[in-house]
Amino acid sequence: MQPSLVSIVAKRLRDEIEQRRFPLGTAFPTDAELAKGFGVSRTVVREAVSSLREAGLISTQRGRGSIVIAYTASPGFRISAEELESGKRLLHLYEFRSLIETEAAGLAAQRRTEADVQRIYDALQDGRSIGSFDKAIAADIDFHVAIAEAARNEYFQRIMATIRTATTARALMRFETDRESYVELYRTVLQKEHLDIADAIRDGHPSKARQLLKKHLGGRRYKALLKSALEQMDE
Amino acid sequence: MQPSLVSIVAKRLRDEIEQRRFPLGTAFPTDAELAKGFGVSRTVVREAVSSLREAGLISTQRGRGSIVIAYTASPGFRISAEELESGKRLLHLYEFRSLIETEAAGLAAQRRTEADVQRIYDALQDGRSIGSFDKAIAADIDFHVAIAEAARNEYFQRIMATIRTATTARALMRFETDRESYVELYRTVLQKEHLDIADAIRDGHPSKARQLLKKHLGGRRYKALLKSALEQMDE
DNA sequence: GTATGTCTAGTTATCATACAACATTGCGTG
DNA sequence: CACGCAATGTTGTATGATAACTAGACATAC
């Protein structure tokens, strides 16, 4: 079974765009030109162009034509749990995460509503009855989600969700044999730190919230990760 | 200017797929059914389906039909140029971007090598001979890429690339009728700011690099965006 | 009863033509 | 010189037709 003309044309165009045959922002060939150049019908061209548009490579306006707006499809920002097996990468991610979550806490302290505050304390309340590993993980997630929402900037929310997904997956993989210690850590250390952060957000103290969140991520857990990463030295 | 029927149909279908109206692996409606259901021609349906295919949501075979192969486009953090048509979102992204790039400049000032510095100045050198819009865009990209590399944390690099791809695409769409003013802005303002930032990084002054980068993103361009976003007030 | 071949109906893929809606450019007029 | 209008160009959509493939039903042969 042969590849369709649409997929052939789309791939050819994608390659040409990637090779910068059409400088960013300049006119992309018209439907008619492409149909003539590839020796296909306008239908095939339009379907191929539709997929290029979806890939974010071109932008089209009726009556004006298309322009190239990117040379390659947006890779996006993803973090796989596998890549975090590298100690160096984990350190880099924590450095990055620390910056994001610290600022999010500051914004949350500035922008929180009463409902936001309630939600943050609800997550803490849930955390008090932690009896199992998955409950501890879920409570930790809820707490950080609540802060992200209170920050009122969807890009913080989205990047924090992406980081959290990856770090949660890694924690699930890593603590398979030692969940009790995480639960204990959660009970004895993390909850207290969460409470302090929640108070600072409730009271509207951005600087203090930032400081406490940074300390939270730079505290005991970070030190343990650093130690673990140095032991690995696998990159 | 109204959205095209193709984009309306594609969005509707994307939503339905995300809401699992069609279980994974089962038959997706035929061209004819969709055309009848949406009250549009088969041409529109085929173009919409072409974009769903590109997004990785469906797979199609001649003679058999389509099946749903994923409920959502792959996860992770992405920014489409379209979403940045919303002034509120753009402000949020600039707030987010400012934090990231400011910190990256600081890290670059701490961690840069001589090769990094050379690369940053090379980007500036390229910027001196700017004669066209696409060259200005490319030089701006090169400058920020060089800083991201000097920061030596791949998560900063990756998120900055993601942001840059989206903001570049948006700039290309937005400046279609006023490219000269961007080139002029680049020549008269942005290059100077780039040079100051490069000097601070070369000299190893993280605080100063942060301050200058923040000012760079908070300066004239940001003010123009803020004004433009308020004018829109579309969300 | 089972295997193979043929036919029919259905589905996607492509082509061609036509018209609508928008954008740009050029020309004529005041 | 500025403005308005017509002509031209481009995308968006609809319609009809044919080609290429798939699946299932039915008939035939072993």
ipTM of the complex: 0.76
Q: For position B133, what pLDDT does the model report?
A: 73
Residue B34 Cβ < 7 Å to strand D: no
What is the Cα–Cα distance from A168 to A217, expressed in whole angstroms?
A: 15
End-to-end Cα, chain B, rounded Å: 17
Q: For chain A, where do the domains classified as CATH 1.20.120.530 start and end?
A: 82-232
Which tokens go with B169?
A: 């695409």
Best CA proximity match to B154, nearest among A96, A51, A201, A177: A96
Q: Is there a contact between A162 and B138 if contact means CB atoms under 8 Å apart?
A: no
Q: What is the mean pLDDT of residues A156-181?
A: 76
Residue A198 CB partners (closer than 8 Å, separation 6+): A117, A120, A121, A124, A143
> Rounded to an integer, what distance in angstroms lies between the CA atom of residue A152 and that of residue B77?
17
Residues in chain B: 235
Torsion of CA A174, A177, A180, A181, to 10 degrees: -50
Assigned CATH class of B82-232: mainly alpha
- What residues pair up with B5 in beta bridges, in sequence order? none
The span from the CA of B55 to the CA of B80, in Å, is 13
Strand pairing class (A58-61; B65-68): unpaired
From chain B residues 189-218, the ones with a CB under 8 A of any chain A CB are none
CA distance A14 to A166: 31
Tokens of B72: 């959502």
Chain D positions with any atom < 7 A from a protein CB: 9-16, 20-23
Q: Which two tokens stand for residue B232?
A: 């829109």
The H-assigned helical ranges of chain B are 5-18, 31-38, 42-54, 87-111, 114-128, 133-151, 154-174, 179-185, 191-202, 206-218, 220-232
Strand C nucleotides where any atom sits below 7 Å of a protein CB: 10-17, 21-24
Query: What confidence tier does B140 reach under pLDDT thresholds 50, 70, 90?
Result: confident
CATH number for region B5-68:
1.10.10.10
Is residue A24 within 8 Å of A71, Cβ to Cβ?
yes
On whether any CB of chain A is under 8 Å from the CB of B95, the answer is yes
Rounded to 5 degrees, what are φ and ψ at B101? -75, -30
Dihedral class, residue A54 (left if φ above 0, else alpha if ψ from -120 to 50, else beta)? alpha
Q: Å from B41 (CA) to C19 (C1')?
A: 14
Whether B120 has a pLDDT exceeding 90, the answer reads yes
Q: How many CB atoms lie within 10 A of CB B80?
A: 14
CA of A35 to C1' of D18 (A): 19
Say yes or no: B222 contacts chain A, CB-CB below 8 A: no
Burial A165-178 (b: 16+ CB within 10 A, else e): bbbeebbeebbeee
Rounded distance between C-alpha atoms, residue B164 and residue A74, angstroms: 10
**pLDDT tens digits for A68-100?**
988 888 768 888 777 877 778 888 998 999 999
The mean pLDDT of chain B is 84
| C-alpha closest to that of A206 among A159, A137, A152 | A152
pLDDT band at residue B48, thresholds of 50, 70 and 90? Answer: very high
Angle of helix B42-54 versus helix B5-18 axis, rounded to 10: 50
**Candidates B11, B47, B91, partner chain A, best to mutate (most A CBs within 10 A):** B47
A62 contact B CB<8A:
yes
DSSP letter at A177 equals G
Preferred mutation among B172, B179, B180 to probe A, highest tally of A CBs within 10 A: B172
User: Among chain A residues 55 through 74, which have CB within 7 angstroms of nucleic chain C?
Assistant: 61-64
pLDDT at B93 over 50: yes
Beta-ladder partners of A68: A58
Angle in degrees, CA A187, A190, A192, rounded to 5: 85
* Ramachandran quadrant class, B80 (left: phi over 0; alpha: psi -120 to 50; beta: rest): beta
β partners of residue A58: A68
How many of the other CB atoms lie within 10 Å of CB of B15?
10
Question: Cβ contact (<8 Å) for B173 and A59?
Answer: yes
Query: Residue B220 pLDDT more than 80?
Result: no
Average pLDDT over residues B115-128: 87
The most confident of A65-79, A128-142, B63-77, B194-208, by mean pLDDT: B194-208
Burial of B235 (0-12, 13-18, 19+ CB in 10 A): exposed
State the pLDDT confidence band at B83, using cuts at 50, 70 and 90. confident
**Rounded to whole angstroms, how far apart are CA atoms A70 and B80?**
11
CA angle A46, A47, A48 (to 5 degrees): 90
Q: Where in chain A is the domain with CATH 1.10.10.10?
A: 5-68
pLDDT top residue among B230 and B188: B188
